[in-house]
Amino acid sequence: MKLKSFGKGGIHPNPSKLTSGMPIIEVGVSSEIRLELAESIGVPSRCIVRPGQTVSAGEMIAEAAAFVSAPVHSPVAGTVKRIEKVRDPQGFWREAVIIATEHIETAVDEVEAELSPRTQEEVDALTPKEIIDIVGDMGIVGLGGATFPTRVKLSIPEGKKAEIVILNGAECEPYLTCDETIMCGYPDRIVAGCRLIMKAVDAPKAVIGIEANKPQAIATFRRYLKGCDDIEVVKLRTRYPQGGEKQLIKAVTGREVPEGGLPVDAGAVVDNVATALAIYEAVYNRKPLTQRVVTVTGPLLRKPGNFMVKIGTTISTLIEAAGGLPEDTGKVIAGGPMMGKAMSRLDAPTTKAISGVLVLPKSMSGRHPEEPCIRCAKCVSGCPMGLEPYQMMNLSIMKRFEEIKDLHVLSCLECGCCSYVCPSHRPLLDYIRYAKQEIRKLPK
Amino acid sequence: MGVISTTVLILGGIGVIAAVVLYFVAKKFHVYENPKIAEIEELLPGANCGGCGMSGCHAFAKACAETDSLDGFNCTGAGKDIMEKISVIVGLEAKAGVRRVAVMKCHGGCEERQVVNNYDGVDSCAMEGTLYQGETDCNYGCLGRGDCVASCIFDALHIDPEIGIAVVDIDKCTGCGKCVKTCPRHLLELVPVEPDKPIVWVACMNHDKGALAMKECTLSCIGCGKCKRVCNHDAVTVDDFVAHIDPEKCVGCGECEGACPRSSIHHIGNLRPELKGNPETSDNKPAGSNEA
């Protein structure tokens, strides 16, 4: 049987899923938690605590400042020490709330004890509007990496209709296994979360898209969903970037999202499986989004694994939990090897966006020397959006940004396929990203 | 014989006819251009640097020839007497334009600003800036990849190989301002050059709080405001933990440079310590009398 996939482009990198099938390990609570206020795309949230104030685990410390914004909650009980700028993994200053943890050893249990879960009857009585409000209040954002506030995604604009909910379990990035782990571990919760999304957007049907290289996850869901006809598991071809929103919609429904449009224009609402799990926790267990699963991996790490991490823990704590930084480390990457960004400092806090920490040895992380373009057009056939990366790079070097805009550069999802396939090792994506930044500065 | 003469006649005939047609067409479609424009353009450097604010040398020449007053017109690239020459051609009064040069507002070299990580991407400041904040702890300083050097058409900017940051060759700089627009960290500033007056400027743009700025670079401005307190001419402002000297108000006494605990203030030219007194209360007092 031919497996479903998107139309054009794409690559097949070595999956290197070293941590596949490993259990989720809890990382201990550190004595200090640093929570960035700009945890989601859009407007940074507004801080509502003062230094010296005590906060309980799960208490909101910053509220949404606009429609496209999400609140932030404290993952621990403790005292607000300072509100100051901290460096993110790329070294930029970000406004953050610093909380000193009390009772390090009991913090986790306290969270569990404090909350009385909603019963199934109570959940069934919730209206779509109430579900969306809970999702908003609990600070849930898209956990696939883009951190788009889920409340906004679930609020379908007037005049549009969601026909299908697609849960994104493709996890096409090499090395990362955080989604696979939760899919194997909590299929019941993910399906319950999925039903909540279906109710919120009033969609009759849902699909869970999983790449073929995760047979265990597919089998788990198929077993769990036996007899259900509203939720279907779709096995997708192992192909990068299968987990891109537009690629997934194309693979599952055969429809294309118009340029500059939303997935709902193609009748679909796409959420990551981790987001569905977070929605389940928020609605059933009244738990705000304060932790997530992060894959810490790398060929030389002593104990790579999937870790349950309190948001705000430093990245170095995570690496320590995985056995410490190996001596021959070339780069540490936030996210996967294709779309992740190299980190310049490891004392930065984790955010809701981080899905993986990849430690690469020097031999695997260096750049190849750039050579002239030989016009082989591999980048053109590799681009899943059907763009012309070589042309955009040439124009970007000449700073002709208006013309790059006419080449639909803003449709680029920065998957990195072009740079990956280029036989001359040209840094195509770097130039495209630069052009995108400059185009956003151009007068409208 | 017959073939050659026919060929010559035919081709010659075509030539004559074409010449006549072209003559009349040229007459018919002739566009009058002010001869002054060509004359002025002859004088201009032809670098098309855009320092005058026009799109290039031809546009500037055209604007000069068509204007009623030369106020505000200045070619930065051609030297100081260019406007006089142009004023002779167009027959208008012209003030000698103020010469401006670019100054570099970072001087934290490799010694002062430790490199904490290595960047191996595309060799360009703008590209490095899209990825992260740079190889040192300072988020504001020179990245040293030379985007400004590439933008300078007068060869006035270079990366000093010893300190790894850009330095301006004041003699070659024409003040066209290309580097000012290019630098992604906005480290270059145009300041006026006046005869017998030194240029004094704060060579740091670090907006972090003093304690942080101190750790990030040994030459950083920490916003302590000592320079502001010693200045009698109200030329120094401290905004967001960085001092700035207003070149219009500065008289070049050099008091601030002596007061700076971080050696962040630089000067070019001879300082004029005799001018450090307050212009209102101690106008004519000798320089030493203020110190008591």
User: Using 50, 70 and 90 to split pLDDT, how confident is the model at B281?
Assistant: low
Which of A87, A341, A345 is facing B131, going by the closest CB pair? A341
> Burial of B290 by CB count in 10 Å (0-12 exposed, 13-18 middle, 19+ buried)?
middle
Tell me the mean pLDDT in the region B229-234: 91
Chain A residues lying within 8 Å of B122, measured CB to CB: 370, 427, 430-431
For helices A128-137 and A273-284, give the axis angle rounded to 10 degrees.
Answer: 100
Distance CA B288, CA B124 (A): 49
Across the strands, what pairs with B193? Answer: B99
Question: Which residues 147-186 of A are in CB contact (within 8 Å) with B?
Answer: none
B139 touches chain A (CB under 8 A): yes
- Chain-centroid distance of CA B72 in Å reads 17
Residues 6+ apart with CB under 8 A from B140: B106, B185, B187, B204, B205, B206, B207, B208
Q: Are B190 and B100 in contact (CB under 8 A)?
A: yes
Beta strands A93-101 and A32-36: pairing type? antiparallel
A434 touches chain B (CB under 8 A): yes
Distance CA A274, CA A356 (A): 13
Chain B residues lying within 8 Å of A342, measured CB to CB: 131-132
Question: Which residues 182-221 of B are in CB contact (within 8 Å) with A?
Answer: 208
Residues B33-92 have pLDDT tens digits of 888 898 898 888 888 888 888 888 999 998 888 888 888 788 887 766 788 888 888 888
B126 touches chain A (CB under 8 A): yes
Which of A341, A345, A430 is facing B122, going by the closest CB pair? A430
**Nearest CA of chain B to the CA of A337: how many Å?**
15
Best residue of B120, B215, B241 to probe chain A, by most A CBs closer than 10 Å: B120
* A293-365 CATH fold: Ubiquitin-like (UB roll) (3.10.20)
- Chain-centroid distance of CA A186 in Å reads 18
The token pair at A186 is 């909590």
User: Do the chains contact at B116 and A366, CB–CB below 8 Å?
Assistant: no
Best residue of B114, B119, B127, B151 to probe chain A, by most A CBs closer than 10 Å: B127
Mean pLDDT by 10 residues, chain A (444 residues): 83 90 89 90 90 90 91 92 91 92 60 71 91 93 89 90 93 93 94 94 94 93 90 93 92 91 92 95 92 93 93 93 91 92 91 93 90 94 94 93 93 94 95 93 82
Give the DSSP per-residue string, A103-158. Answer: STTTHHHHHHHHPPPPPHHHHHT--HHHHHHHHHHTT-B-TTTT--BHHHHHSPPT
The token pair at B133 is 């904040």
DSSP A240: B
B150 touches chain A (CB under 8 A): no
Q: Are B43 and B92 in contact (CB under 8 A)?
A: no
| Helix or strand run (H / E) with residue A32 | strand A32-36
Domain boundaries of chain A, sorted by first residue: 25-106, 120-284, 293-365, 378-441
B120 touches chain A (CB under 8 A): yes
The model's pTM = 0.85
In this prediction, residue B91 carries a pLDDT of 84
**Domain A120-284 maps to which CATH number in 3.40.50.2300, 3.40.50.11540, 3.10.20.310, 3.10.20.30?**
3.40.50.11540
Which of A93, A344, A434 is facing B132, going by the closest CB pair? A344
List Cα–Cα distances, A329 to A28, A319, A363, in angstroms.
24, 12, 9
Mark residue B134 as left, alpha or beta (left: phi above 0; alpha: psi -120 to 50; beta: remaining): left
Tracing tokens 């053109």 back to the chain, one arrives at: A380
Is pLDDT larger for residue B93 or for residue B205? Answer: B205
Tell me the mean pLDDT in the region B6-15: 96
Q: Are A419 and B112 in contact (CB under 8 A)?
A: no
Domains of chain B listed by start with CATH number: 35-97 (1.10.15.40), 99-193 (3.30.70.20), 195-292 (3.30.70.20)
Across the strands, what pairs with A11? Answer: A240
| Helix or strand run (H / E) with residue A430 | helix A428-441
| Helix/strand/coil for A231 | strand
Q: What is the strand order of the sheet A329-334 is part of?
A: A24-26, A305-310, A291-297, A356-361, A329-334, A341-342
Chain B residues lying within 8 Å of A91, measured CB to CB: 132-134, 137, 139
Distance CA A437, CA B130 (A): 8
Chain A to chain B Cβ contacts (< 8 Å): 43
State the Cα angle at A78 between A72 and A84, rounded to 5°.
Answer: 60
| Helix or strand run (H / E) with residue B84 | helix B82-90
Tracing tokens 């509220």 back to the chain, one arrives at: A63
Q: Are A101 and A78 in contact (CB under 8 A)?
A: yes
Q: Are A414 and A244 in contact (CB under 8 A)?
A: no
ipTM value: 0.81
Chain A residues lying within 8 Å of B127, measured CB to CB: 427, 430-431, 434
Distance CA A397, CA A418 (A): 16
Distance CA A273, CA A187 (A): 10
Chain A residues lying within 8 Å of B131, measured CB to CB: 90, 341-342, 430
Distance CA B94, CA B83 (A): 6
CATH of domain A25-106: 2.40.50.100
Q: How many residues does chain B have?
A: 292
Chain A residues lying within 8 Å of B130, measured CB to CB: 430, 433-434, 437
Q: How many residues does chain A have?
A: 444
**Nearest CA of chain B to the CA of A376: how many Å?**
22
Chain B residues lying within 8 Å of A409, measured CB to CB: none
Which of A345, A370, A437 is facing B130, going by the closest CB pair? A437
B97 touches chain A (CB under 8 A): no
Q: Are B60 and B48 in contact (CB under 8 A)?
A: no
Q: Are A434 and A441 in contact (CB under 8 A)?
A: no
Q: Is the model's pLDDT at B277 over the cut of 80? A: no
Q: Is the peptide bond before A149 cis (omega within 30 degrees of 0)?
A: no
- Chain-centroid distance of CA A340 in Å reads 11
Best residue of A83, A333, A344, A363 to probe chain B, by most B CBs closer than 10 Å: A344
In this structure, of A98-112, B86-100, B202-216, the range with the lowest mean pLDDT score is A98-112
Distance CA A331, CA A313 (A): 20
